[in-house]
Amino acid sequence: MAANRGSENVPEKPVVKDLTKDMIEFVSKKMHHDINPSEVVAVYQLRNRRVLIKFSSVKEKVELMRARRKMDIRTCYVNDQMTRIGGDLCKKCRELRKKNQLAYVWTRLGKIYIKRSEDSKTIEIQCDEDVEKVTKNG
């Protein structure tokens, strides 16, 4: 009996709930796109309330990004995972777009693409020199 009384005073450990399923359902509903849970390797919620989903295949990631393009709302962002250098290049290109020096800037599978105008050819940006060539020739 004494052992039971002692264990009654020991607080239970809090149950840590796995939010992976809940996050997948939330993102699926928000994006209007069914995410296959078997394609998800991990789900993280970052400090800034962003959700990071790591997929086991590129196909599922591309499908989610395609679904995002079809959406009208601008409160939900889907970003490619990029290196710091790639992110900096993409930022430079977005700034040029804001200054109306470029018509379009987008990424796909970690690569950066631009168009100078609606009817111009698509250009892949790989380095600072590519950005400089575009601005000099534009």
What's the pLDDT tens digit per position in 68-124?
777 766 666 667 777 888 889 999 999 999 999 999 998 888 889 999 988 999 999
Which residue range forms the structural domain that includes residue 7?
A: 1-78
CA 7 to each of CA 1, 3, 13, 16, 121: distance values in angstroms, whole numbers, following the listed order: 10, 6, 13, 21, 73
Q: Do 74 and 89 have their domain in common?
A: no
Task: Quote the mean pLDDT of the chain.
Answer: 79
CA 69 to each of CA 9, 54, 85, 95, 134: distance values in angstroms, whole numbers, following the listed order: 55, 19, 25, 21, 26
Tally of domains within the chain: 2
Q: By three-state DSSP, how is residue 6 classified?
A: helix
Q: Do 9 and 47 have their domain in common?
A: yes
DSSP character for 39? G
Better pLDDT: 11 or 136: 136
Tally the C-alpha atoms within 13 A of residue 7's C-alpha that lie toward its C-beta: 4
Residues in a beta bridge with 129: none
Q: Do 74 and 88 have their domain in common?
A: no
pTM over 0.85: no
Q: What is the pLDDT of residue 2?
A: 46
- Cite the beta strand spans of 63-119 per DSSP E: 104-108, 111-115
Q: Do 65 and 96 have their domain in common?
A: no
Q: Do 62 and 91 have their domain in common?
A: no
Q: What is the pLDDT of residue 18?
A: 64
Better pLDDT: 89 or 137: 89
Q: What is the pLDDT of residue 112?
A: 92
